[in-house]
Amino acid sequence: MTAALQELAETFEFLDDWEERYRYIIDLGRKLEPLPDEYKIDDYRVQGCVSRVWLVPRADPTDESRIQFVADSDAHIVKGLIAIALLLFDDKTPEEILEIDTREVLRRLDLAEHLSPSRSNGFYAMIRRIRETAERRLHGTPIEACVVIQ
């Protein structure tokens, strides 16, 4: 578990009430850098989310083996879930991405039990898109071609 994720888990443990945790998740989403409108197109849209979610992979300019992600949503809580996904997967190699046990992380955060079914489905759709991108990159697909159009 990364230091950032460890810190998130400790913050969640400190916040007793799920209302406080939801507010914290929303605050995480507010800290995301805004996604330029040119990327808010169907090619980058994550299907399976009730809210609109866009996820854009890009190569790390200093290390082409690492994948960075920028993402956005039109829903506050979903933006927070995006922030959590980015804590997990951003700026990692495809191998590192594929080694992450997302279900274990969600269990550790006790998040899976407190998301509505539609938010869980959307969160896992984002994770699937990230993992598909890593798989494609692992097999030599250039990052520009890793976008999974559905």
For the stretch 24-81, pLDDT in tens is 999 999 999 889 999 999 999 998 878 899 999 998 888 888 999 999 999 999 999 9
Set 49, 55, 75, 115: catalytic member? 49
Q: Across the chain, what does the average pLDDT equal?
A: 89
Share of the chain above pLDDT 90, in %: 57
Give, to the nearest 10 degrees, the angle between helix 3-14 and helix 18-30: 140
pLDDT of residue 49: 77
Domain of 67, CATH number, reads 3.90.1010.10
49 is catalytic: yes
pLDDT of residue 147: 65
The range of the structural domain enclosing residue 77 comes to 3-145
**Structural domains of the chain, count:** 1
- In one-letter notation, the amino acid at residue 126 is M
Residue 150 lies in a domain: no
pLDDT band at 145 (very low <50, low <70, confident <90, very high): low
Burial code (b: 16+ CB inside 10 Å, e: under 16) for 70-83 equals bbbbebebbbbbbb
- Give 15: exposed, middle or buried? Use CB within 10 Å, 0-12, 13-18, 19+: middle
Token pair in block for residue 150: 């559905």
Residue 88 lies in a domain: yes
